[in-house]
A and B are shown apart, each in its own frame.
Chain A
Amino acid sequence: METLIVQTGGRPGLSRELVNHNGEAIGIGRGFGNHVILTDPYIAPDQASFQYEGGVWYFQNLDNTNRVLLNNEILPAQRVKLQTGDRLVLGRTEIRIFSPDHEVAPTRKLLLSGWLHYDSIGFMVPFLAIIVCNLMDFGMDHLLDATREVEWKDSITNLLWLNIILLVWSGAWAITGKLVRHHYHFGQQIFITTIGLIGMIILFPVLDYIEFATNTAMLSTIVTILVMLVVVAWLVRFNLYFSTSGRHATAVGVIVSMVIVGGVSTINYLSQDDFNPNAQNKSELYPGFTRFGSGESVDSYFNQVEAMLGSVEQ
């Protein structure tokens, strides 16, 4: 195949630099006499050339100031045969070589049939999401937890803080998007983050309830960690997705989430004191109708206490 495509860089939404050549040798380097001019101070004026012989493209390195990598391995002294998809690193620049028949990945589907990606999301959707989030936060607090007269000043201050954090977080991602994709999705970042927050507002009381209903602190600790993993993964994954259109947003989200949640849980676990002078009980209480079964008998309960004491002795 006579045609060789040389690509440098490449971000979604930006046109890539392409060199398309038909069988003639291609010079590559920092010098202006080359076919491909790379402005990288770690590359020689005449660094290398691509040569076409007998239906095959070869790569010939011409300068050994810095090593050249081919598919992550150091290039041998003699010229090497190239294959489509090969990856070369010259200085600090990465270039990739393709033939025109190189297979491309299938077209990716836009999230939620695409509407979330367009500017048509407008102002109303994220605004409504914020309103819903605020109302839910206040409503859950009020309906489940409030045991005294509402302190409006405190409630409003808390909500303002929540919204400021939301806006700063979304804003940071939007700026990242502007830098990486030359386009920001502020509304989308707010919308996605707000959905994550609403998830937390709903899930935390559910977690408390699980602790109460199952009577096992261990289970609720595990479920709490899992929920936090999902929420953080969600926030990172979608914010990253809108900012970069990166290919592995889900994997990155899950890994970042595991590092953060795993790290915090581990630090919490390790920083617990070995000795605690106080007796701890699970204090979460919900009304009787949320609880199933009729309860142990007093005797059977004290048998359990006795058994527990047996194990304390050792």
Chain B
Amino acid sequence: MNKLTVFSRLAGFVLICALTSIGHAQQSQNAQQLFEQLRDRVYQVRVVDIGSGDKYSIGSGFQVSASGLVATNFHVVSSYVHDQHKYRLELVHKDGQTTDVKIQAIDVIHDLAILHSDGLDTAYMALGSASLKQGDRIFSMGNPHDLGMTIIEGTYNGLVQHVRHEQILFSGSLNPGMSGGPALDSRGRVIGINVAKGGDDISFLVPVEKLHKLIQRTEAGVDAETAYAERIRQALHDDQDAFFQSILSQDFETDRLGEVSVPVRLAPNLRCWGHTKDDEKVYFVGAHQHCQSEDSIYVSRGLYTGRMTYDYEWITTDRLNPFQFYQAVSTRFKHHHPRSSKDEEEIGNFACRQQMVGFAGQRWQISTCFRRYLKYDGLYDASLAMVSIDRNDEALLVKFAASGIDRQNAMNLFKRVMESIEWKL
């Protein structure tokens, strides 16, 4: 998924205006009417590079209270969050006038941020609720590619399946720069926040309930004194803990793959695929089952976290001698490529421990690797790769990887997986 921020290269901006009293827009309206009504309450959000004085990245945002709270995506303002000495934040109004804003609250997990400025009008957008039905017409506003404020029309298609964090599937075409803009029902009430796109006419919205919660927290003054890095760390930590505890607290369901039974369907929010590799010229056959979470948490440009993936491969042969067979297995025995970060300021090197381990009546070659999040204590990327080595013509290859997980959850998960593997003879 591409986040929808647009960087400084593109110029131009339009503000959306229209004043309508809240709760008044009861009738179904078309895009033109909505735009007229609401364009004043949608802003372009700019991260300005202090050194050069020009914008570094842009997104959209919309006013959610008379007191001057503006909602946007966390990823729109993340550069500022991570480096407040280098950047500042401003809102651009319809007429090109700018207002400095401060960050009031962030929700890194759902990619939301609340900004605040005293210098705004009191007109704001009403937040709706999730009473939509699949197929309902919805609208989205924002400033794509810095081309000017736009409104687009699309279809509400319910919640996305197989993701760790709820998102609305919006069949419309969001584009970079529209991030943080509002998605509206036909009565002009906010039902979600633009966040990402997945392909042609496949876009994603953060459900408005997440914004509700964040506004409540903001108004209650929660976290107001805590540094951003600590808020992010705490949020990531709590989120992974909830996810992995829900996995670990259940009895693992197992399913048969070749001569073994392996734990499957570990979490409903993972998407699974299977394929068998058999080529007449290749003298071994590999049957794969792999599952992964398809969303990730944007922390910074150098760090996307919160993914989990696992992969089983049952490899057999009836044509290779034992040496050739294990040569074939060797080529498959590798860790998953971690996709969270390639930035050495964010993440440490992997440290690995590889050993021969005996369980399930077999001996296995197991490698476990961890790397540390340098800015968020207690979080790691963890990776497990293991393969059975006792049989001369069949082997099970298991790979697990999780990003942004704590030590104990990772160890418990890996251990539980090993304990639930059974060799059916």
B-binding residues in A (CB < 8 A): 143-149, 215, 274-289, 291, 293-298, 301-302, 304-306, 308-309, 311-313
Q: Which of B284, B322, B365 contacts A289 (CB 8 A)?
A: B322
- A293-B356, A302-B415, A309-B351 as given contacts; A288 in contact with B391, CB under 8 Å: yes
B415 CB contacts on chain A under 8 angstroms:
298, 302
Q: Is B352 on the interface with A (CB-CB < 8 A)?
A: yes
Q: Is B419 on the interface with A (CB-CB < 8 A)?
A: yes
B324 touches A143 (CB 8 A): yes
Q: Closest CB-CB distance, A179 to chain B, in whole Å? A: 45
Q: Is B148 on the interface with A (CB-CB < 8 A)?
A: no
Q: Closest CB-CB distance, B378 to chain A, in whole Å? A: 10
Q: Is B167 on the interface with A (CB-CB < 8 A)?
A: no
A296 CB contacts on chain B under 8 angstroms:
355-358
B387 CB contacts on chain A under 8 angstroms:
285
A-binding residues in B (CB < 8 A): 279-284, 320-331, 333-338, 341-342, 344, 347-359, 363-372, 383, 385, 387, 389-392, 407, 411, 414-415, 418-419
- Cα A232 to Cα B50 in complex, Å, equals 60
Q: Closest CB-CB distance, B230 to chain A, in whole Å? A: 19
B353 touches A304 (CB 8 A): yes
- Cα A302 to Cα B349 in complex, Å, equals 20
- Cα A120 to Cα B179 in complex, Å, equals 85
A301 touches B391 (CB 8 A): no
**9 A-B residue pairings within 8 Å (CB atoms):** A144-B324, A145-B324, A147-B324, A287-B326, A295-B357, A295-B363, A298-B357, A305-B368, A312-B348
Q: Which of A149, A281, A308, A309 contacts B283 (CB 8 A)?
A: A149
B357 touches A286 (CB 8 A): no
B351 touches A308 (CB 8 A): yes
- Cα A289 to Cα B325 in complex, Å, equals 13
A298 touches B418 (CB 8 A): yes
Q: Closest CB-CB distance, A102 to chain B, in whole Å? A: 61
- Cα A308 to Cα B355 in complex, Å, equals 13
Most buried by B among A275, A280, A281, A298: A281
Q: Which of A146, A276, A281, A312 contacts B354 (CB 8 A)?
A: A281
B385 CB contacts on chain A under 8 angstroms:
279, 281
Most buried by B among A147, A279, A280: A279
B352 touches A279 (CB 8 A): yes
At the interface, is chain A mostly helix, strand, loop or mixed?
Answer: loop
- Cα A296 to Cα B336 in complex, Å, equals 24
A281 closest partner in B (C-beta): B367
B367 touches A288 (CB 8 A): no
- Cα A162 to Cα B22 in complex, Å, equals 82
Q: Which of A280, A283, A287 contacts B323 (CB 8 A)?
A: A287
- Cα A309 to Cα B352 in complex, Å, equals 9
B358 touches A294 (CB 8 A): yes
- A147-B284, A309-B351 as given contacts; A284 in contact with B330, CB under 8 Å: yes
Q: Which of A146, A275, A284, A286 contacts B349 (CB 8 A)?
A: A275
A282 CB contacts on chain B under 8 angstroms:
354, 367
A215 CB contacts on chain B under 8 angstroms:
354-356
A275 touches B352 (CB 8 A): no
A305 touches B353 (CB 8 A): yes
A313 CB contacts on chain B under 8 angstroms:
372
B337 CB contacts on chain A under 8 angstroms:
278
B363 touches A281 (CB 8 A): no
**Given contact pairs A147-B282, A147-B283, A278-B337, a sample of 20 additional A-B residue pairs in the complex whose CB atoms are under 8 Å apart:** A145-B324, A147-B325, A148-B282, A148-B283, A276-B349, A279-B338, A281-B354, A285-B333, A287-B322, A289-B322, A294-B363, A295-B355, A297-B357, A297-B359, A298-B359, A298-B418, A302-B414, A309-B351, A309-B407, A312-B372
- Cα A293 to Cα B281 in complex, Å, equals 35
A146 touches B356 (CB 8 A): no
- Cα A287 to Cα B392 in complex, Å, equals 6
B349 CB contacts on chain A under 8 angstroms:
274-276
- Cα A293 to Cα B358 in complex, Å, equals 9
- Cα A296 to Cα B341 in complex, Å, equals 32
Most buried by A among B280, B323, B355, B367: B323
- A148-B282, A285-B333 as given contacts; A277 in contact with B338, CB under 8 Å: yes
A285 CB contacts on chain B under 8 angstroms:
326-327, 329-330, 333, 365, 387, 389
- Cα A309 to Cα B405 in complex, Å, equals 14
B332 closest partner in A (C-beta): A283
B358 CB contacts on chain A under 8 angstroms:
294-297
A311 closest partner in B (C-beta): B351
- Cα A274 to Cα B347 in complex, Å, equals 12
A217 closest partner in B (C-beta): B354
B363 CB contacts on chain A under 8 angstroms:
288, 291, 294-295
* Cβ-closest 6 pairs across A and B: A295-B358, A287-B322, A281-B367, A279-B335, A279-B369, A147-B328
B327 touches A275 (CB 8 A): no
- Cα A278 to Cα B385 in complex, Å, equals 13
- Cα A223 to Cα B352 in complex, Å, equals 22
- Cα A294 to Cα B360 in complex, Å, equals 12
